[in-house]
Chain A
């Protein structure tokens, strides 16, 4: 399944580094999402873009900065992260943000902050 791709798959970074996560969807969708998944916890919605406009920022710290240059690409820029930010970061897309629009996920980026 290559509908939603994410790079890199694994990332180890120090607290002072700056890195970016990339997501690309090949499904012709108009909505894209960033989620954080920590062990034994529910998926946490971080950011939502619908038709390239950010519609949601669920109280995410400013050390996470999203960018959506077009409806197929989504980035998550990271800087001065904390060890508690270590998690699996999942990107998803859906046709739109509607009642029957299923979200399709990428394989995630496993992030470790040292």
Chain B
């Protein structure tokens, strides 16, 4: 199928590091996106990976393994404002995004 699997909810502590995993179907793959969505707001773009490896952008990094159908989003030095849902999406062969249900990240002081 076209399932994108990611954990429903995660909890982490302010200042710590958290890794949000995403697995996806590998056929017809054209890239992997991560978006952040605060409650009641629009999803906003975080990262795009199409080649294997780690892409770093400040406190956020995203990793991709195409052979394993696996990606993760790594958030460092967590801040309270990072409490949000993180959406993983695969770009398919028609250049349409297939979305996961999102991971709700709760940051505790």
Contact = CB atoms under 8 A, between A and B. Distances in A.
Interface residues of B, number: 24
A114 interface: no
Interface of A is mostly: loop
A103 interface: yes
Interface of B is mostly: loop
Contact of B50 (A45, A56, A99): A99
Nearest to A88: B40
Nearest to A99: B30
Contacts of A106: 42
Interface string A46-58: 0010000000100
B55 to A, nearest CB: 13
A108 interface: yes
Given A40-B8, A99-B31, A90 B99 contact: no
Given A90-B43, A99-B30, A105-B42, A40 B95 contact: no
B43 A42 contact: no
A5 to B, nearest CB: 10
Interface of B: 4, 8, 30-31, 33, 41-45, 48, 50, 87, 89, 91, 94-102
